[in-house]
Amino acid sequence: MTKKSLRKYSKKIVDGVEQAPSRAMLRAVGFKEGDFKLPQIGIASTWSNITPCNMHLNELAIEASNGVESSGAKAVIFNTITVSDGITMGTSGMRYSLVSREIIADSIEAVTAAQGFDGLVTIGGCDKNMPACAMAMARLNRPSVFVYGGTIKPGPKKRDIVSVFEAVGAISSGKISQQELLEVERTAIPGPGACGGMYTANTMASAIEAMGLSLGNSSAQEAVSSNKLIDCHKAGEAVMNLIEKDIRPRDIMTKKAFENAITVVIALGGSTNAVLHIIAMAKEAYIDIGLEDFTRIGKRVPVLADVKPSGKFLMSDLIEIGGIQPLMKRLLGAGLLHGDCITVTGMTLEENLRNVEDYPSNQEIIMNFNSPIKEDSHLNVLYGNLAPEGAVAKISGKEGLFFKGNARCFDSEELALAAILNDKIHAGDVIIIRYEGPKGGPGMREMLSPTGAIIGKGLGSEVALITDGRFSGGSHGFVVGHVTPEAAVGGPLAMVEDGDQISIDAKTKRIDLLVEQTTIDKRKEKWIRPKSDITRGALAKYRATVTSASQGAVTEASSW
């Protein structure tokens, strides 16, 4: 098979007399005469100096490019945007976070399809750009490999970004001084890499690896490490193998592969955001994955990893004992993974794991099946008259399995946070934060500022929080998000009033407003949707096209 026959897309851009203008422009960016006869591989980098998660990705893109060119292809690096959740958290800027997932996927699609790349390496470093990369890979369906930018090294006393959010709550209740807060702020983020616990970044990197879209242990390497550079180089080489074997993302992203991803997320105690993103990625791959799949798989998969936010250890600790590959081998041995799924190595998952060694016998991070952190999933899909189309709770069991209390209603995150910090929230309260859903926000903000403040004030086991928004992977406590239908479309959450009793039951998977239906109906008759000053731009477009959280909060064009 000649290299020319591998140029399914790029030959349309550079071959023939009529494409001389294209070749002229490419010569100016570094193409040599022989490069026009080679397959072209796009390297989609989410590098920016906006956030520590992405600040080092340019080096990784260059190393991936070197891997591509050592395998006999031509690499072309291009960039896309990213938005920092950690920096925008608690502000109106956070509305753009989930929106950025769609923008990133769209931009990778646009560049790759327009430029005629024959293959693709995508490099993501934080929460939204990783699922966005996978969504674009599925949409384009050209031979592709995903590379995770890697996790951050921990700060002193194993601090991370969540330590800072919780310190904000602690200072408001007098538990720490201003000087102590400043010390935490100055030391929590020591350099490049994604947030260090099993928050959304590490969760999604693990899910994407389990799905087969990245090389072994790509999800479990520190951002600043020789292993991460090797991973990038090998990813560049792997694309040519995929092109030669004609293995494409949708060959890898099967129903079984998504089930593997869900299984690994549960075993790791991963973020609720994985529910949104896995459903969104599945839609791009034409695979039917929904809330019911998380419930079905969650009944038989235990939580095995004692990792933050609810546990003790960071991703860097897991890396030291072997990463997620030994965990996947254990899950495979227990019959909880599909070993016959093809991966970006060109081999099956079972073949990839064959020579993986088990964890050291004295490690304390990954529990055995006979003594799990939780016997079934921590990701509880709840239904009831408050969430007839579903809601997602992250309940490890440490905060209990049942909560009943009186509603305290807030029509924005800011109002709720102010009440928490000003000691207006008390034990037994059920905090309602509404009009923060995909359409209501718009943008479905994360609630790390309120949940961090609750934990910092010592109320983690004494109050509950319910929202049609979502949660950072760093949130923990008795929290329920993704409530659908959301308040902005007249969902039941909009009908709750202060003092109403609400029950949350993780055992029966119920979330209910304990008010007569006739009363709820009367309230709905009087309900008026709050006005919004967002009438144009990215947020307005998003609001007009976004689906519900239970459908992955993806944007869908209307038919024409």
CA distance 74 to 34: 10
Q: 381 vs 252, 377, 505, CA distance in Å?
A: 27, 10, 11
Q: Out of 48, 472, 548, 550, pick the active-site residue.
A: 472
SS3 per-residue string spanning 246-272: CCCHHHHCCHHHHHHHHHHHHHCCCCC
Q: Do the Cβ atoms of 397 and 285 come closer than 8 Å?
A: no
Question: Do strands 501-505 and 510-513 pair parallel, antiparallel, or not at all (unpaired)?
Answer: antiparallel
d(CA 148, CA 133): 10
CA separation for the pair 411, 509 (Å, rounded): 25
Report how far apart, in Å, the C-alpha atoms of 435 and of each of 307, 412, 418, 510, 534 are: 31, 6, 17, 22, 14
Closest CA to 85 of 122, 44, 137, 131: 131
Q: pLDDT tens across 11-36, in order? A: 999 999 999 999 999 999 999 999 99
Show the CA angle centred on residue 103, arms to residues 102 and 105, nearest 5°: 65
Give the burial class of 452: count Cβ atoms within 10 A of its Cβ; 0-12 exposed, 13-18 middle, 19 or more buried: buried
Nearest Cα to 231, choosing from 46, 61, 53?
61
**521 burial level (CB within 10 Å; 0-12, 13-18, 19+):** exposed
Nearest to 198 by CA among 156, 163, 151: 151
The answer to whether 118 and 96 have CB atoms below 8 angstroms apart is: no
Beta bridge partners of 555: 546
Q: Has 218 been annotated as catalytic?
A: no
Q: What's the chain's length in residues?
A: 560
Q: Which whole-number Å values give the CA distances from 458 to 171, 174, 182, 420, 467, in the listed order?
A: 11, 11, 20, 11, 20
Percent of the chain with pLDDT over 90: 87
CB count, 10 Å around CB of 317? 18
Q: Which of 212, 274, 216 is nearest to 248 (CA)?
A: 212
E runs forming strands in 270-421: 379-384, 387-394, 402-410
Q: What residue type is 280 in one-letter code?
A: A
For residue 450, give both structure tokens: 């309120």
pLDDT tens for the chain, residues 1 to 560: 445 579 999 999 999 999 999 999 999 999 999 999 999 999 999 999 999 999 999 999 999 999 999 999 999 999 999 999 889 988 999 999 999 999 999 999 999 999 999 999 999 998 899 999 999 999 999 999 999 999 999 888 888 888 888 888 888 778 899 999 999 999 999 999 999 999 999 999 999 999 999 999 999 999 999 999 999 999 999 999 999 999 999 999 999 999 999 999 999 999 999 999 999 999 999 999 999 999 999 999 999 999 998 899 999 999 999 999 999 999 999 999 999 999 999 999 999 999 999 999 999 999 999 999 999 999 999 999 999 999 999 887 777 789 999 999 999 999 999 999 999 999 999 999 999 999 999 999 999 889 888 988 988 889 999 999 999 877 777 899 999 999 999 999 999 999 999 999 999 999 999 999 999 999 999 999 999 999 999 999 999 999 999 999 999 876 55
pTM of the model: 0.95
Phi first, then psi: what are they for 164, rounded to 5°?
Answer: -70, -45
Give the dihedral sign, CA 262/302/506/173: negative
Distance CA 72, CA 111 (A): 22
- Quickly list H helices, 141-187: 161-172, 178-187
User: Strand, coil or helix: what is 549?
Assistant: helix
